[in-house]
């Protein structure tokens, strides 16, 4: 049985097959206002992410529907798996035996009434769209962003683990001017996305490093034998929570135990900078039953099971662990 080109394109979306999609789409056409090559590249990354996500069942099927928004009435498809997860809803603009355009629709009425969860699909930046011309001010700010990106990406090529000195200096150099950029508004630019991500990663890392430095002081204080009884321990924990309110926040960061670093998004820092925070949080989790009931109820439910803590807790044990009265 032979399939039309349009049917093959729909099937490629169902199968998360960017290779076939690349072969079927026309090089001369734009899709979602960007060149075909960029469209396929982004969806290849998107499809790979879905296939690598163990929580996603990749048995997607196409369900027809119509746009109810800015392209009202235009025909398209939603792609939904057996669990009701929709990875995207698209308008497919038909042109005889082909599609002249394919783009994400955010106001789509699908024939599938059992969709439980929506993913947003891919959004392209204004400067990535064919024919978009940057203004002089935008070019100046693009230059600022690219200099910042070049500096940190060059350092990452040389050093897989960034030094504390580098991230502090880079943050000091670029963060103050970041908020003054005029490029944040109704438009979105590709050159701002990465610098936004890097700055967010570094801010997060520096914030937790500061918390870890405070944690070291409380761990040192805990060695005093006056904290041997439960009431004193509870007072110590309450004081710690007041000074380090984020101690009850779960640390969402990836740890590489073999190479001894912790990842905050796109950057890696030496695990030693986080050891005291992880140690202190572990002690809190193990002894949370000492806290007043009202305080205990405000803690994350994850803390009820030791497995919720980072897998590196055993590697972060201090040599003087026996000195703690806990």
The DSSP output letter for 227 is G
Collect all residues with Cβ–Cβ distance below 8 Å to 1 and sequence separation of at least 6.
Answer: none
Residue 68: inside a domain:
yes
In a domain? residue 131: no
Q: Is residue 32 in some structural domain?
A: yes
Q: Do 19 and 97 fall within a single domain?
A: yes
Q: What is the Cα–Cα distance from 85 to 58, expressed in whole angstroms? A: 10
Can you give the pLDDT at residue 305? 39
pLDDT of residue 43: 96
Q: Pick from 124, 155, 186: which residue ends a domain?
A: 124
Query: Do 187 and 281 have their domain in common?
Result: no
CATH number at residue 64: 3.10.450
Residue 52 covered by a domain? yes
Specify if 21 maps to a domain: yes
Q: How many domains does one find in the chain?
A: 3
Q: Identify the pLDDT of residue 289.
A: 81
Q: Give the pLDDT score at 51.
A: 95
- Give the tens place of pLDDT for each residue, 114-151: 899 988 888 899 999 999 999 898 898 899 999 999 99
Structure tokens at 169: 């200096």
Q: Could you tell me which of 258, 260, 287, 256 has the C-alpha nearest to residue 273?
A: 260
Q: Are residues 34 and 110 in the same domain?
A: yes
Neighbours of 54 (CB within 10 A): 6
Q: Do residues 290 and 309 share a domain?
A: yes
What is the model's pLDDT at position 287? 81
- pLDDT score, position 91: 96
Are 261 and 194 within one domain? no
Report residues of the chain scoring pLDDT below 50.
Answer: 304-320, 322
Cα–Cα distance for residue pair 141/259, rounded to 1 Å: 37
Residue with tokens 């990452």: 156
Q: Would you give the end-to-end CA distance of the chain in angstroms?
A: 71
Burial class (CB in 10 A: 0-12, 13-18, 19+), 226: exposed
What was the pLDDT predicted at 307?
37
Whether residues 52 and 152 fall in one domain:
no
pTM of the model: 0.69
Q: Give me the pLDDT at residue 182, please.
A: 60
156 and 113 assigned to the same domain: no
Q: Are residues 82 and 145 in the same domain?
A: no
* Pair 103, 47 in one domain: yes
| Cβ-contact 200, 211 below 8 angstroms | no
Q: Note down the domain range covering 115.
A: 5-124
DSSP symbols for 144-197? HHHHHHHHHHHHHHH-SSB-HHHHHHHHHHHHHHHTT-S--SS---HHHHHHHH
Asked if the structure places residue 189 within a domain, the reply is yes
Note the pLDDT of residue 141.
Answer: 87
And the tokens for 123? 């959004």
pLDDT tens per residue across span 173-187: 998 887 777 655 667
Whether residues 81 and 48 share a domain: the answer is yes
Within a domain: residue 88? yes
Q: Of the residues 124, 154, 178, which one is the last residue of a structural domain?
A: 124
Under a CB-based contact definition with an 8 Å cutoff, are residues 11 and 21 in contact?
A: no
CA distances from 53 to 116, 126, 199, 264 (A): 18, 29, 26, 19
The answer to whether residues 182 and 290 belong to one domain is no
Question: Are both 256 and 177 inside the same structural domain?
Answer: no
């Amino acid at each position: 049985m032979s399939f039309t080109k349009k049917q093959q394109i729909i099937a490629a979306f169902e199968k998360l097959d960017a290779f076939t999609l690349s072969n079927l789409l026309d090089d001369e056409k734009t899709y979602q206002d960007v060149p075909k090559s960029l469209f396929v590249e982004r969806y290849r990354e998107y499809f790979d992410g879905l296939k690598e996500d163990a929580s996603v069942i990749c048995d997607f099927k196409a369900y027809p529907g119509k746009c109810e928004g800015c392209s009202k009435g235009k025909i398209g498809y939603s792609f939904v798996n057996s669990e009701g997860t929709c990875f995207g809803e698209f308008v497919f603009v038909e042109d005889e035996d082909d599609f002249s355009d394919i783009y994400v629709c955010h106001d789509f009425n699908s024939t599938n009434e059992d969709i439980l969860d929506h993913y947003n699909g891919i959004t392209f930046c204004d400067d990535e769209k064919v024919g978009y011309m940057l203004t002089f001010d935008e070019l100046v700010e693009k230059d600022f962003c690219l200099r910042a990106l070049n500096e940190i990406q060059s350092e990452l090529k040389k050093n897989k683990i960034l030094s504390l000195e580098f991230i502090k200096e880079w943050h000091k150099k670029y963060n103050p001017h970041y908020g003054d950029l005029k490029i944040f508004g109704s438009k979105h630019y590709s050159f701002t996305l990465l610098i936004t991500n890097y700055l967010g990663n570094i801010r997060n890392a520096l914030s937790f490093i500061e918390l870890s430095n405070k944690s070291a002081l409380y761990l040192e204080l805990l060695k005093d034998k006056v904290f041997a009884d439960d009431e004193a321990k509870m007072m110590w924990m309450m004081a710690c929570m007041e000074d380090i309110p984020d101690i009850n926040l779960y640390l969402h960061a990836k740890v590489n135990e073999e190479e001894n670093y912790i990842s905050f998004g796109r950057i890696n820092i030496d695990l030693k900078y986080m050891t005291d925070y992880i140690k202190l949080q572990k002690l809190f989790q193990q002894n949370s039953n000492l806290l007043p009931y009202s305080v205990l109820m405000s803690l994350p439910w994850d803390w009820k099971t030791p497995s919720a803590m980072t897998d590196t807790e055993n590697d972060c044990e201090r040599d003087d662990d026996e000195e703690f009265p806990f």
